[in-house]
Homo-oligomer: A and B are copies of this chain.
Amino acid sequence: MAYRETPRMRARKEATRQRILDTTQSLVASGGFGAASVARVAEESGVAIGSVYRHFESKSDLFAEVFRHATEVEVKRVGEALNTTGPADEALAKALEVFARRAIRSPTMAWALIAEPVDPLVDEERLRYRQAYAELFEQTLVRGIREGCFRPDQNPKLSSAATVGAIAEALVGPLSPAADGLDREKADQLIHDVVRLCLQAVRAPGGQQQ
């Protein structure tokens, strides 16, 4: 008898697979999903085109996995920021700052995750991603309404979606200053302003103003 899959081989395949994922993620980060052709992914991963298909059913499959991984990281970070014992408005401010800071640091990745058109398989992941955000923000909005620091007469789902849109457009959109030509100080000012804007939008009238 002959070839049997050994741990060594399994590990090597796993490593190649991971390398393809990493390469794809970095291509997406620098030019969006549109910049990640299978040929490019293969070349930068140091494998043949055909080998990509040995590790992933299709390009969409590969993209979906990259998307899922990237968004899990984002949602986790925002979720951590929300999980404080302090007042809801402080938690929300912290979370929005995390969201905004990450978006401004990797604007192309932010665009790819939030707005770049992708095929249906990847779009499913995006829906999950947005729902994850919506749920996180919604929980905190609801908590803040109970605590009295957020307006009670708002639709938390709507506020949550609008908040994501506001940050995305202000920091990543075509009118935003090119994130590259932005020194630390300017970036901080921008993040501070947009977070305050978003917070004020949901805050209860008469609450403390920062």
Contact = CB atoms under 8 A, between A and B. Distances in A.
Interface of A: 34, 115-117, 123, 126-127, 130-131, 134, 151, 154-155, 157-159, 161-170, 173-176, 190, 193-194, 196-198, 200-203, 205, 209
**Residue of A131, A159, A161 ringed by the most chain B CB atoms within 10 A:** A161
**Residue of A157, A168, A203 ringed by the most chain B CB atoms within 10 A:** A168
Contacts of A196: 154
30 contacts: A34-B117, A115-B115, A117-B117, A123-B174, A127-B174, A130-B173, A130-B175, A134-B175, A154-B193, A154-B197, A155-B190, A155-B193, A157-B175, A158-B170, A158-B193, A159-B197, A161-B170, A161-B173, A162-B169, A162-B194, A162-B198, A165-B165, A165-B168, A165-B170, A166-B166, A168-B169, A198-B201, A200-B201, A200-B205, A205-B209
Given A154-B197, A162-B197, A166-B169, 7 more contacts: A130-B174, A161-B169, A162-B167, A162-B194, A168-B169, A198-B201, A200-B205
Contacts of A126: 174
Interface of A: prevailing SS: helix
A167 B158 CA distance: 10
Contacts of A205: 200, 209
Given A117-B116, A154-B193, A174-B126, A169 B159 contact: no
B197 A201 contact: yes
A185 to B, nearest CB: 14
A194 B158 contact: yes
Q: Which 8 A-B pairs have the closest CB atoms?
A: A165-B169, A201-B201, A162-B166, A162-B170, A166-B166, A165-B165, A205-B209, A161-B170
